[in-house]
Structure 1
């Protein structure tokens, strides 16, 4: 039990500093310990089962108990438990995975480069962009543009791209040469009466004004998630990516698509770039690439990026970047099998079809007195909570209502996550319509309970 000095809960509080957690608060409340996983469900140390409506961290596409991934890992572990890709070395799983990713890309790509996480992938993409600028004899072209509410990781560099205050406050971030333009959240940020198209036009104009103010010759790349994840599941408004890309093309600025959450089926297409007709020069992917059974991430780069990079590595004598575990053979084998399962079982189609049902069911909550907006696409969505629907005002501090509702939802057997007052849903790609019903019914029950506490 928690009160016992050697219990798992007590030892966790004593020895473990958690991610994205109030460390002082954790010393008081301790952890929820997850011991088992099965399909879309996980089970805690007390034997209570939950629907994992966030797929862990937006990531367990094929569910928590896929034997083919376990077998793929064990088989590769027995054959070659580790090798690297430094100095002209390679191994079969990585060669196969590189070929698979390049050939399945939604736009022409040239090469794959492997890292261990989305943060490392975006950090690496930043370095590649700067390396390319130097290779092209454009040392002044180093500025990168990201977006407010965007999420691209937590390394010093990638957290600078991230547009969320808690990832930068007290970390002395962002670093130099990282700029942020406006978030494409129509419900929250549009002017009164402004249509989605008009809002998108205004954001594209603001981006162009930023580029001109900084000097187009100093801007190297623009970063964007097809659908923002950790920023609150912000779905781009009508015309947004078309208008943004037109500005980037006008000033010869690279587009980096952060597919870490959207990739491998989440939006109802294999990649979010397909859903929104994006034509990136670099794609960063992780999470569902292996259903997070093992850590692995990848970048795809086109010839516009690769050719100058190759020339510069030839001039210097090496491309001086890489990770010991980047493209680990066991992780690569699991990723290959995971992608095969997604394709064989039609899980992208399931995300589109069951996702449409999930969007429909969640939108039935729009009339609830605490719901300001329901948004999403495919199998990713958010329900944004407000205390006042007319003014969109929060209940107390931002996040208080979201935290309350999220806690009630967990009590009702569904694990979600609140980003501020937005409750996110990103279940495994294998979820069924009947299971969606269980989730939405639990949300409705939790919101009704929240109303009683808000009005108390």
Structure 2
């Protein structure tokens, strides 16, 4: 596409290398350049208005124009614009936020460690668990089990935990000691006539077989999202988490709940761990923690995890890890105000109610020739696109059909995201039923148009 030389689009092409983008295609097509936000909408520099049906990156809980968050940032910026948390230093907002998060935890937790992104949080968790194993005199206990299609970040360690092939290809990943067991997607991975419960039993048995083959004494932890996000909004089948947790408990393996997408209301409870009765030892959180108005992430650890780490830091004289901006007072102040608003407006219940409407509207489209499965919980959902319902297959090139529908919806004013041939919906928690109807009506029109095009 041709842009005038000094346009924002042309300068973006000239100077900016994008995340999760085909760099050569970007040189040809350029980007939508956004200028402002308004509720669940964003507006580009040409005045085109879109419903942001993905809440940015699964993350803008309060929409794109919450003045109270801007005011919280401005107040803290004027008072104390920066403070670090190294070498016995702290600040008021980060102390308040740590206390708040421990109070919200669905299971007993001991301490909060702050980072700046979900990737950094999961990377740090892996590093600290290696440290903990050494502290406990178990240097052989360094392996961690993740899942295929799980998403846990993009640093070297967290990208290794991620179970998506394109996050590994040409990066020389995953690193040693990171194992991947099967995904919990019943529709895609179950055998003929295999019930959800039977499938969950098989996945738990496969996990146990992996642990025994590797040696239980070498496995320190298992990490999983309560509901998979970037892997295609994969909702766990009945009894899945109950059976997985039983295996972990049998071999004294820690459970890490990655709540980066699920946390703070997305699944219709404050945490996805509550929705699926998880009892994690560690919980990772980011995104809706601050509605992504400021970069901030954190993880909580229980006493079982904390005590050996604390002892080792005392033995060495320092815990030699941290980030300059971790526990940033402005980000912490915004996160505190964000959590206050979520509670004041009862947005967790709102997500549960409006999410039921979203899922109901999507389920009503399940008979469409291009829909193979509708899945979701709370205010997160996906439709799996197919051209052959019986075979559960789409076009020859994986993601081609999803890309067509994603582009078609964007042209009609709704921003979604396709993970190959799954179209995801994760609107801000403040979305109304009327706005949900606009999203689903746009999907239906796009599906009809796409079906006509591909014959």
The residue aligned with 1:43 is: 43
Q: Tell me, in whole angstroms, the C-alpha distance in 2 between the residues paired with 1:272 and 1:252.
A: 22
The residue aligned with 2:273 is: 273
The residue aligned with 1:247 is: 247
The residue aligned with 1:352 is: 352
Q: Tell me, in whole angstroms, the C-alpha distance in 1 between the residues paired with 2:246 and 2:106.
A: 19
Q: Tell me, in whole angstroms, the C-alpha distance in 2 between the residues paired with 1:332 and 1:454.
A: 49
Cα deviation 1:141-196 (Å, max 9, x = unaligned): 00000000000000000000000011010000000000000000000000000000
Cα deviation 1:317-367 (Å, max 9, x = unaligned): 011110000010000000000000000000000000111111100111100
The residue aligned with 1:166 is: 166
Question: What SS does the aligned partner of 2:61 have?
Answer: coil
Q: Tell me, in whole angstroms, the C-alpha distance in 1 between the residues paired with 2:258 and 2:124.
A: 12
The residue aligned with 1:209 is: 209
Q: Tell me, in whole angstroms, the C-alpha distance in 2 between the residues paired with 1:401 and 1:298.
A: 36
The residue aligned with 1:189 is: 189
State the Cα distance separating 1:286 from its structure 2 match: 0.1
Q: Tell me, in whole angstroms, the C-alpha distance in 2 between the residues paired with 1:353 and 1:2.
A: 45
Question: What SS does the aligned partner of 1:138 have?
Answer: coil
Q: Tell me, in whole angstroms, the C-alpha distance in 1 between the residues paired with 2:394 and 2:217.
A: 42
Q: Tell me, in whole angstroms, the C-alpha distance in 2 between the residues paired with 1:217 and 1:246.
A: 17
CA contact (8 A) 1:374 1:382 kept: yes
Alignment of 1:221-236 (within 5 A): 221-236=221-236
Q: Tell me, in whole angstroms, the C-alpha distance in 2 between the residues paired with 1:3 and 1:314.
A: 59
The residue aligned with 2:138 is: 138
Question: What SS does the aligned partner of 2:366 have?
Answer: helix
State the Cα distance separating 1:45 from its structure 2 match: 1.2
Question: What SS does the aligned partner of 1:114 have?
Answer: strand
The residue aligned with 2:366 is: 366
The residue aligned with 1:9 is: 9
The residue aligned with 2:156 is: 156
Q: Tell me, in whole angstroms, the C-alpha distance in 2 between the residues paired with 1:71 and 1:421.
A: 40
Question: What SS does the aligned partner of 1:375 have?
Answer: strand
Alignment of 1:55-454 (within 5 A): 55-454=55-454
Q: Tell me, in whole angstroms, the C-alpha distance in 2 between the residues paired with 1:316 and 1:73.
A: 37
Q: Tell me, in whole angstroms, the C-alpha distance in 2 between the residues paired with 1:91 and 1:184.
A: 41
Q: Which TM-score applies when normalising by structure 1? A: 0.99
Q: Tell me, in whole angstroms, the C-alpha distance in 2 between the residues paired with 1:394 and 1:172.
A: 30
State the Cα distance separating 1:24 from its structure 2 match: 0.3
Question: What SS does the aligned partner of 1:410 have?
Answer: helix
CA contact (8 A) 1:2 1:8 kept: no
CA contact (8 A) 1:399 1:421 kept: yes
Q: Tell me, in whole angstroms, the C-alpha distance in 2 between the residues paired with 1:135 and 1:54.
A: 42
CA contact (8 A) 1:233 1:375 kept: yes
Question: What SS does the aligned partner of 1:367 have?
Answer: coil
CA contact (8 A) 1:284 1:300 kept: yes
CA contact (8 A) 1:118 1:285 kept: yes
Q: Which TM-score applies when normalising by structure 2? A: 0.99
CA contact (8 A) 1:2 1:9 kept: no
Question: What SS does the aligned partner of 1:97 have?
Answer: helix
Question: What SS does the aligned partner of 1:366 have?
Answer: coil
State the Cα distance separating 1:454 from its structure 2 match: 1.1
Moved runs in structure 1, 4+ residues, more than 2 A?
Answer: none
State the Cα distance separating 1:2 from its structure 2 match: 5.1
What value does the CA root-mean-square deviation take over the aligned residues? 0.7
Question: What SS does the aligned partner of 1:243 have?
Answer: helix
Cα deviation 1:362-392 (Å, max 9, x = unaligned): 1111000000000000000000001100101
State the Cα distance separating 1:3 from its structure 2 match: 2.6
The residue aligned with 2:34 is: 34
State the Cα distance separating 1:394 from its structure 2 match: 1.5
Structure 2, unpaired ranges of 5+:
none
State the Cα distance separating 1:132 from its structure 2 match: 0.9
Q: Tell me, in whole angstroms, the C-alpha distance in 2 between the residues paired with 1:22 and 1:425.
A: 23
CA contact (8 A) 1:61 1:291 kept: yes
